[in-house]
Amino acid sequence: MPLWFLPALITLFAVVSLGAGIWLLLHLRDVARVFRGNRPGELVRGPGKRRATPAAVWTAFIIFNAGWIACIVIWIFVLGGEANTVVDAKS
């Protein structure tokens, strides 16, 4: 694989994770609705209309977490030296 492949892969996963994180921030009311509790002091959904389904919120959580976990796994793969055997610096 070419030398630029692993940094490009980390960039791709980071951008995907960032996009999902921004989406979650823009839909905080829906995130609070998914994690609402019935005890005092827990997250409570604010006023306003519902915009995202719980399935969309969970999908965004999964994409967000998968993105940063994939970045860390690739980074550990590179730092550990295993990437030296699969990367061809000549291409």
Enumerate residue ranges in the chain where pLDDT < 70: 42-46, 89-91
Contact 51, 34 (CB under 8 A): no
> Residue 11: what pLDDT?
96
Q: Reduced to 3 DSSP states, what percent helix, strand and coil does the chain have, rounded to the nearest 5?
A: 65, 0, 35
Over the stretch 28-41, which tens digit does the pLDDT of each residue have?
A: 888 888 887 777 77
> Residue 35: what pLDDT?
81
Contact 25, 31 (CB under 8 A): no
